Amino acid sequence: MRDYTDERTPDDADEIWLCEHAPVYTLGQAGLDRHLLDAKGIPVVRCDRGGQATYHGPGQVVAYVLLDLRRARLYVREYVALLEEAVIGTLREFGIRGACRKPGAPGVFVPDPHGGPELAKIAALGIKVRNGRAYHGMSINVDMDLSPFLGINPCGYEGLRTVDMATCGVRADLSEVGHRLAARVVPEISSEGLCG
């Protein structure tokens, strides 16, 4: 991902890579060891994206968006909002209402399906920009073992509840969620969208 970003030319296409990871904690550039509470044998990887600690694992779709922000004529904040809105729209397609952005906390949140007073995080976002080109991306919790999130302070927030689409009552195919998410992002970064 970083190699592609560093080696690409101004004419190279923007890309979206969809995947599902084996269990791993990642600590972004702002990641503090104190937010890693109990790794329980899960590998911890430091990476160059923004943000704090998160968990990736089976049942979660990860979308790495490799985008030339200059060509797209996007500022970083606009780009982050575009990604968050793509997630919100995807969740809406699957019947999840009330998904929203939270000021000062990148990612997407939903009303707590357990009835708690706080919003619960359903999707994480972390990017890196080098030479006007963005990489890393976002993840949506589809149907996964959420217990590893208890081993960290997700995104640096103590006690932040993390949920998945299944917890919200929606059983969805991981591949279908990924493809619908990509379908919402691609027009925004293609020659027909902002890059045109």
| Residue 157 among known ligand-binding residues | no
Burial of 73 (0-12, 13-18, 19+ CB in 10 A): exposed
| Residue 114 among known ligand-binding residues | no
Structure tokens at 194: 């902002």
| Residue 89 among known ligand-binding residues | no
| Residue 49 among known ligand-binding residues | yes
Comparing CA positions, the residue from 69, 64, 81 lying closest to residue 137 is: 64
| Residue 56 among known ligand-binding residues | yes
* Euclidean distance between CA atoms 136 and 143, whole angstroms: 22
| Residue 1 among known ligand-binding residues | no
155 is catalytic: yes
Task: Give the Cβ contact number of residue 109 at 10 Å.
Answer: 23
Comparing CA positions, the residue from 79, 84, 50 lying closest to residue 67 is: 79
| Residue 123 among known ligand-binding residues | no
Strand-pairing partners, residue 141, are 60
Residue of 19, 100, 155, 168 marked catalytic: 155
| Residue 54 among known ligand-binding residues | yes
Q: List residues with catalytic annotation.
A: 155
Binding-site sequence positions: 49-56, 124-126, 137-139
Binding-site sequence positions for substrate: 49-56, 124-126, 137-139
